[in-house]
Structure 1
Amino acid sequence: VTAGRNQRSRKMEVFELIEGHYLVGNQGIYKVQEFLGQGSFGKVAKCTKLGSPECYAIKIMKSSWAGEREFKMMKLIKDLDPDENHLIKMFEWFPFQNMTCIVYELLDVNLHDSLMNEMQMVHLCWIRVIAQHLLKALKALKSIGVAHCDIKLDNIMFAELDSVNVKLIDFGLAVETKKLSTEIEIQVTPFRAPEVILGLPLDESVDMWALGVVLASVYFGNYPFPSETEYETIRAMVLCTPEEYTETTGEQVEIKNHVINLDAMIHEHRDMFNDHDDDDHRAFIDLLKNMLEVNPKNRITPRQALEHDFITMKHLAGKSKAAYAGKAGEVMGKTPPSEGAQSSVSLCRSQVRINAEGSV
């Protein structure tokens, strides 16, 4: 008993890395500069490689099984262009003492922290960019038969400071679509697809649902469905208007806390920006409805979503509101920035808010 206790104690001591410690990898030696975060899996450290000015994010996991599983998933997607498809880039994997380390590119800040820090409303033009980038990621994953299974605000990161480029991270729960099973626990409650809650057959469309929740959360400032329990969540999904919800359950729905009627919410955003465009907001809501389709068989696919009017901006062509259409094109990189105008990048990273009563 004593020997076992001492062995466990030694393992815990080994894992207690501190700033300044070194990790010996296959492609070099990494020095821990600071810790960026931690969770049940372990820690993420910002590291430099000896002899190189580059910085990396190293995910240091206590479980060798979890580490090897994530590495295998990353190997499956290694042939996908990580920059073109907005996926985090992996450099190497190595065991270190009793830990498993995966070396990733260093990104800036996740969408959740950006929302919490900036306290501003996100303009629809920049939501379009985020949507397009992540739809490209889902399209790429679908092409190789992989489902991410954990899309949420925390797992979407801006590539660098003052950048509108986002990438999908954390493939710890990713799985080959053909191996998706109701016995596997996937997705956190606010982003959990109805078929996951109901224990129905699953495919990669669970990711499309989760992305729909992400975009709705960024747009509205709170989650689109109640998330205290799975039962409340599924009722809100099926009973899509406040009137239907109240008639069936006898409970009043507070729209300010939980968005159920997507159409009604357009009007709440009408006065948020001087250049509000009703047609653009309607196009966005239409895309959301297709992403948040309860029946996964009818849910929009990544390819279809990338061809949706909200992404292609076909509905803005020839509009009399040329200034709005020009701004939308500029943000999407389809037109050069106007001389003397505030850059799209700085606007994007400063126009984000969090609802004081909700929790994104």
Structure 2
Amino acid sequence: FLTINDLKGNRKMEVFELMEGHYLVGNQGIYKVLKFLGEGSFGKVAKCTKLGSPECYAIKIVKGSWAGEKEFKMMKLIKDLHPDENHLIKMYEWFQFQNMTCIVYELLDKSLHDSLMNETQLVHLCFIRVIAQQLLKALKALKSIGVAHCDIKLDNIMFAELDSVNVKLIDFGLALKTKKLSTETEIQVPPFRAPEVILGLPLDESVDMWALGMVLACLYFGNYPFPSETEYETIRAMVQIFGLPEAESILKTESRRVKPSNTTSSP
């Protein structure tokens, strides 16, 4: 078992060596890891308690510093949007501890995936309507500061209060300023990926609106509306339902991608 002093002195400790019962020394206090809530390529999310306080927090523990600092900068923008009113996760602080970046968030309940998609009965339309209203408000707030979430999916929408159907949008690790979106950007997982992302077309905040539509369709039908094994299958299914886009709209899109030359011939 490592003490707090051991953790301060051991600069070679890796993120996956953290265990339940270990401590993280933050700027606003010392956090004790109670249990791990999830794990991904970025690192881990741990449920922690702050020493001297009864409150519990969710701390995202990111390997290295670049990804964690990028998410923190995005969360600083979002912090001014009144997270509770706009259904966005609340951040309390961030700090670097050894070779890890730690972001302290409010502890939420369950994700839409865990709480609803595992049920045998379909979600009632009245609940879907409430969830839609809350998430549309979240997207409107993000648009007001020129930010796209870029990773809206069932796992990234969590209940703050399950009984009152109060949801919040989480995980801004892939979020970007809308003006920085490009065809080179890798965003969205396949079931929620917008067609313009698949086709390499110009992107804006509407990619989030498409992903939200997929989320709501999943809740209503109890399954993904389009196959997602390959991008070809996804686009083929969309064409079968919506038809091919008009040639005129394709030409307009292509013309926006070709920048006119500003050079003039010298006399």
Question: Could you say which TM-score interval applies, normalised by the shorter chain?
Answer: 0.7 to 0.9
What corresponds to 1:25 in structure 2?
Answer: 26
Contact 2:149 2:172 in 1 (8 A): yes
Counterpart amino acid of 1:230? E
The CA distance in 2 between the partners of 1:75 and 1:132, in whole Å, is: 24
Give matches, 1:257-296, under 5 Å.
none
Q: Helix, strand or coil: the match of 1:91?
A: strand
2:133 is matched with 132
Q: Distance in 2 between matches of 1:111 and 1:237?
A: 24
> What pairs with 1:1-360 in structure 2 (closer than 5 Å)?
11=12, 13=14, 15-240=16-241
String of CA shifts for 1:211-264, please: whole Å, max 9, x gaps.
Answer: 0000001000111111110011111112217xx79xxxxxxxxxxxxxxxxxxx
Hey, what's the Cα distance between the residues in 2 that align with 1:230 and 1:160?
36
Find the residue that maps to 1:20 and give its secondary structure. Answer: coil
State the number of aligned residues: 237
> 1:117 Cα shift?
3.6
CA distance in 2, matches of 1:197, 1:105: 34
> 3-state DSSP class of the match of 2:141?
helix
Contact 1:15 1:99 in 2 (8 A): no
Choose between structure 1 and 2: higher strand proportion: 2
Question: For residue 201 of structure 1, what is the amino acid of its counterpart?
Answer: P
Shift of residue 122, structure 1, vs aligned partner: 0.7
Give me the whole-angstrom Cα distance separating, in 2, the residues matched to 1:65 and 1:13: 16
- C-alpha change, 1:33 and 1:179, in structure 2 (3 Å) is same
Structure 1 unaligned spans of 5+? 1-9, 246-293, 298-360
What letter corresponds to residue 29 of structure 1 in structure 2? I
- Structure 1 vs Structure 2 CA RMSD: 1.9
Tell me the TM-score normalized by structure 2: 0.85
Deviation (angstroms), 1:27: 0.6
Q: Distance in 2 between matches of 1:14 and 1:186?
A: 25
Task: State the shift of 1:141 in Å.
Answer: 0.2
Separation of aligned partners in 1, 2:190 and 2:198: 9
Q: Which amino acid aligns with 1:172?
A: G
1:115 offset after TM fit, Å?
Answer: 2.4
Q: Which runs of no fewer than 5 residues in structure 2 stay unpaired?
A: 1-10, 253-267
Q: Deviations over 1:167-210 (max 9, x none)?
A: 00000000000000111100001100000000010000000000
Runs of 4+ with deviation above 3 angstroms:
10-15
1:161 CA displacement: 4.2
Q: What's the offset of the Cα at 1:14?
A: 5.6
C-alpha contact 2:15 2:63 (8 A) present in aligned 1 = no
Q: Is the 8 A contact 1:15 1:98 kept in 2?
A: no
Distance 1:86 1:13, change over 3 A: closer
- In the TM superposition, residue 78 of structure 1 has moved relative to its aligned partner by 1.2
- Highest RCO, 1 vs 2 (Cα 8 Å, sep ≥ 6): 1
TM-score (norm 1): 0.63
Distance (whole Å) between structure 2 residues aligned to residue 12 and residue 92 of structure 1: 22
Check whether the contact 2:13–2:99 (CA below 8 A) recurs between aligned residues.
no
